Amino acid sequence: MRAEAFEAMVPHLRDEFANPSGSHAPARRARLALDEARDVIAECLGADAGEIVATSGGTESDTSALVGALSRHARTSGVPALAVCPAAEHHAVREVVEANDGIVVPVTSTGAVDLDALAEALTTHGDRVAVVSVMAVNNELGTVTELAEVAATVRRCAPGALLHTDAVQAAMWLDLRSVTAHVDLLSLSAHKFGGPKGVGVLWIRRGVAIDPLVRGGGQERDRRSGTQNVAGVVGAATALRLTDEDRPTIVASLTVLRDRLLDGLIACGAIETVPRSVRVAGNAHVCFPGLESEELLYLLDRDGVSASAASACASGAIEASHVLRAIAVSEELRRGALRLTLGHTTTAADVDHALAVVAGAVARLRDHRARQAS
Amino acid sequence: MRVLLGMSGGVDSSVAAAVLRDDGHEVVGVTMRLWGGESDSGCCSVADVDDARRAAQQLGVDHLVFNFSDEFDERVVAPYVEDHRRGRTPNPCIECNRHLKFDRLLDRATALGFDAVATGHHARIVERDGRRWVGRGADHAKDQSYVVHMLDQDALARTVFPIGHLTKDQVRAEAARLGLRTATKPDSQDVCFITSTGGRETFLGDRIPFRRAKVVDPEGVELGELPAVELVTVGQRRGLHLLDGAPRRRYVIDVDHGAAVVTVGPESELMTLEQSVTDLVWADTPVDGPVLVQCSAHGRTSLAELGDGVVRWAEPQRRVSAGQSLVFYDLADERVLGGGLAG
């Protein structure tokens, strides 16, 4: 977490603890902090403060957007509503779409939505489509979606549908003003840009109406009830402002480091899962043919390199990646998937250390396989 | 030693972690995620992973989860279904030990630089003159040497059973003393991928077509029908629903799987002096001659002469259904010499 975000939160966790909905002086101070934070978030999104809804995280934002749009559409049109998403979406979107009998459309080999397939699905189901959800940046591969093209397809084929984007992985890398320009609904998660866990944002374009997922006291303009997490929203706003300011510098420097990391991994025998040209700067997803992710991850972790392969299930086991399956990566490559990511604190020394550890781990595992085979 | 300990989330493997740690080993605990489908018992539900992780945390031991669900499907579940389809009665826990714990996990442990794999089985490793065998656990009522009988010299050299010298009561007392939340957890009894609500019948019925079976006596007189020949096992006495209602005890003495005919008769018809064995495995060199043979996880042993893939019983024994494991012990009934599958 960004130190400034932490510092900004502390007073609201300790002394300024009032409920921002109250009318007394401490409550008004809490309200002030919340309103100021909302202004900061809105500014970073190129949006109005009234369009910002604070939530408990990216998953709640995604669910609220999809379920809220489905509910509203069904209620006002009188026909069952459909949600549509690409196959490589995060579980937070895909599970909601599938649970509501929605439509999952294929992606291309880079993980981007197949626009022809999307157009066909939207044309087929037309007015029944309440919401289309397409992530701005893929969480496993780092692939950036051309949202302008997606938006044009949605407007052309299903003009009554809302377009939502899960931008949880985008905040670090893309100017969010260029994202909100194309969509109606957008989800963020604070801990992905240096803020606290348990805080999210749902941006709802002015004039767009969805039903609330969480009902109650009517906070957040009746769009998300529950006493606001003032400290969390303040921390999120502080982190987002810093991210917005640093972004051009960080993207430039991390692109250099990421390329160095990728080149080093390729020298160890890895295959770049999708071309780096379509990915954000912080992502170095590769596959090691003939190796197993779980073994690599253990050896890396033992030597202080924290990496991942795909999402973990409730038991903590690494699940087979639905994203790699969606982009038709072979079974052998999928087994050897490794996702290394870089952030604003990553240094050249970190990259070199990671490469040395990976090289050692790969050599050890290849050696073992060779001995087993002989 | 660096030891990779399989932790199921039960009391035995929890205490095994403590024993290894206290013996000065560097221990890493791992829970294998094996079955991804519906489950209410056994070794790989999320609640069991939570228990394993919490026990490891309390003991200061690192804990990992390995996802072996593809291999489990391929090496345990699919053969289990296929065996039933062919009229055999497999033991999936033995196949899991054979293919997952003492093959896949052992291989991974070696790849990652561990010296040995440990499990919480009630069994011991017996060493004499540089050779090793699986020995019975100190708690004979809980002894699990039968289900880990397949270890060969290579595997035995890299396997540790840290609680084999303890009784179950001692294990539970130690867990309670350490404040582990697994101390009073009941033993798992069932196949981990079969739910108590649906049972074997539902699990198999979802995967293979059942064929109705005709039930006859040894003279061919029809006595009834059963809904699935795939669920009938030689030696079975319950659930036969015989029409003539005769009071004497009758057992399944033969299953003609191809014709879907089940023959029932008195226990005497079940008895045999010979039993063929296939898929033989040996702890050390192959064994001929007199051995003690055990045909179920906690069954008694019987004296037999072993040779040419045939067990020749000293006294007539009930026939063992095809697919069940026969495990050979030395005449002192202490060491596992090998084992195989009833043919």
One digit per residue, the tens of pLDDT, for chain B of length 343 reads: 999 999 999 999 999 999 999 999 999 999 999 987 776 654 457 888 999 999 999 999 999 999 999 999 999 999 999 999 999 999 999 999 999 999 999 999 999 999 999 999 999 999 999 999 999 999 999 999 999 999 999 999 999 999 999 999 999 999 999 999 999 998 877 788 888 888 899 999 999 999 999 999 999 999 999 999 999 999 998 888 777 766 678 899 999 999 999 999 999 999 999 999 999 999 999 999 999 999 999 999 999 999 999 999 999 999 999 999 999 999 999 999 999 999 9
pLDDT of B44: 53
Alpha carbon dihedral B56, B61, B66, B69, in 10-degree steps, equals -30
**β B222-226/B213-216 pair status:** antiparallel
Residue with tokens 């919401």: A131
What would you report as the CA-atom Rg of chain B, rounded to the nearest whole angstrom?
21
Least Cα distance to A161 among A195, A191, A185 occurs for: A185
Which amino acid type is present at position A227?
A: T
Q: What are B312's strand-pairing partners?
A: B274, B305
Q: Do A315 and B65 touch (CB under 8 A)?
A: yes
pLDDT of B187: 85
Q: How confident is the model over A115-124, as pLDDT tens digits?
A: 999 999 999 9
Handedness of CA B252, B254, B256, B257 (dihedral sign): positive
Cβ contact A275:A366 at 8 Å: no
Q: Do B66 and A294 touch (CB under 8 A)?
A: yes
Cβ contact B44:B35 at 8 Å: yes
The DSSP letter of residue B281 is E
Residue A213 Cα distances to A62, A95, A218, angstroms: 11, 16, 11
pLDDT of B246: 65
Supply the residues of B annotated as catalytic: 96, 192
- Cβ contacts from A onto B, under 8 A: 41
The DSSP letter of residue B337 is E
Q: Do A317 and B67 touch (CB under 8 A)?
A: yes
Residue A138 Cα distances to A341, A345, B68, angstroms: 13, 21, 26
The DSSP letter of residue B273 is E
Q: What are B27's strand-pairing partners?
A: B3
> What distance in Å separates residue A369's CA from the closest CA in chain B?
8
A contacts of B108 (beta carbons < 8 Å): 292, 294-295
Q: Do A315 and B110 touch (CB under 8 A)?
A: no
Mean pLDDT (whole number) for A234-259: 98
pLDDT of B238: 87
Tokens representing residue A81 in the block? 């509503």
- Give me the phi and psi of A332, to 5 degrees please: -65, -45
Residue % of chain A over a pLDDT of 90 = 94
Q: Do A365 and B111 touch (CB under 8 A)?
A: yes
> What distance in Å separates residue B233's CA from the closest CA in chain A?
36
Tokens representing residue A324 in the block? 């790699």
**β A185-189/A162-166 pair status:** parallel
* Nearest beta carbon to residue A316 from set B45, B65, B69: B65
Q: What are B339's strand-pairing partners?
A: B281, B327
> What angle, rounded to 10 degrees, do the helices at B11-22 and B46-59 form?
20
A contacts of B110 (beta carbons < 8 Å): 368
Least Cα distance to A145 among A166, A131, A159, A172 occurs for: A166
Cβ contact A146:A178 at 8 Å: no
ipTM for the complex shown: 0.88
> What distance in Å separates residue A295's CA from the closest CA in chain B?
7
3-state secondary structure A166-201: ECCCCCCCCCCHHHHCCCCEEEEEHHHHCCCCCCEE
